[in-house]
Amino acid sequence: MTHSARTEAGTAAGTEARTEAGTQARTEAGTEAATEGRIGARTALVELSGVSKHYGAVRALHGVSLEVHAGEITCVLGDNGAGKSTLIKIIAGLHQHDGGVLRVDGEETRLASPREALDRGIATVHQDLAVVGLMPVWRNFFLGSEPRKGAGPFKRLDVDLMRRTTREELLRMGIDLRDVDQPIGTLSGGERQCVAIARAVHFGAKVLVLDEPTAALGVKQSGTVLKYVAAARDEGLGVVFITHNPHHAYLVGDRFVLLKRGAMAGNHTRDAITLEELTRQMAGGNELDDLRHELRRS
């Protein structure tokens, strides 16, 4: 974003602090990641240690541990019912864990709400994206955080600033839209995911949680989304990539956490596992071998 745009944004009450904080957070996180390397011994942005969650008699999570570091992508893999959604809700502040420890920037905490998580730098992009399809791209980009200009009865939305900022931030992430005035509902699924990622980066997220961003996309659109997931990583963000597709995970992942029926089924760094073994564990491993033996013709 240009200096003049940042200066003009400074006139908008309630937006200046978030915008400047976002720029500072991205710069500091990117510098730290470049200096210390993608994987190193440093404080995790988010750390779960033995976290559990129960809904009455139903065990949704039990003893789950993971780490999210700046400039890294932690992939969480599992089938439907594995506990991925519950894990997202705990990190995003929607639900609180029953057991174990959640740390943010090394500090033990219990996130009371999504607003608190966002204030701590944790942004979550859900599958439904929470966008208003008939509103233009720039309006969705600033939805809930619109800058204003003027004073008193003359206070109004700063539309020019929002249009310009949206265009510049999307370009900075390598996203070249035809027109930021077009309704966001006219974009492809992959393009909407990319706008949501760019929005989180702009507003100063340090941790980006992505809920199955490629689940309903074709090969080409999935590749586009993965490119911008990697761009967020290169900006210095810690990314939690929830997926059931080991091939997508292995293309971008640095760490892999496998869930099965709410429990850990594996925890690996990229250099400790191959795509073939990751796929095998995701598919059921020994259980699949037993099933193959049972189904074999006599």
Taking only the tens place, the pLDDT of each residue in 237-283 is 999 999 989 999 999 999 999 999 899 989 999 999 999 999 988 87
Checking if the pLDDT of 39 tops 70, the result is: no
- The string of pLDDT tens digits covering residues 76-134 is 998 888 899 999 999 999 999 999 999 999 999 999 998 899 999 999 988 776 788 89
Structural domain boundaries, residue 92: 3-295
Q: Could you give the CA distance from residue 106 to residue 46 in angstroms, rounded to a whole number?
A: 8
Average pLDDT, the chain: 83
Total domains present in the chain: 1
On whether the CB atoms of residues 228 and 201 are closer than 8 A, the answer is no
Q: Which of 13-22, 54-63, 144-153, 251-260 is the least confident region?
A: 13-22
Binned at pLDDT 50, 70 and 90, residue 24 comes out as low
Checking if the pLDDT of 49 tops 60, the result is: yes
Angle at 114 between CA 162 and CA 198, to 5 degrees: 35
Checking if the pLDDT of 289 tops 80, the result is: no
Checking if the pLDDT of 30 tops 70, the result is: no
Q: Could you give the CA distance from residue 32 to residue 23 in angstroms, rounded to a whole number?
A: 14
Q: Could you give the CA distance from residue 191 to residue 118 in angstroms, rounded to a whole number?
A: 23
Q: Which of 178-182, 199-203, 232-236, 292-296 is the least confident region?
A: 292-296
- Residue 298: predicted pLDDT: 54
Give the mean pLDDT of 36-63: 82
Phi/psi of residue 255, nearest 5 degrees: -135, 150
- Residue 47: predicted pLDDT: 95
Q: Could you give the CA distance from residue 86 to residue 164 in angstroms, rounded to a whole number?
A: 37
Give the mean pLDDT of 175-196: 87
- Residue 297: predicted pLDDT: 65
- Residue 41: predicted pLDDT: 52
Strands 73-77 and 255-260, by their bridges, are parallel
Checking if the pLDDT of 13 tops 60, the result is: no
In this structure, what CATH number is given to the domain that contains residue 113? Answer: 3.40.50.300
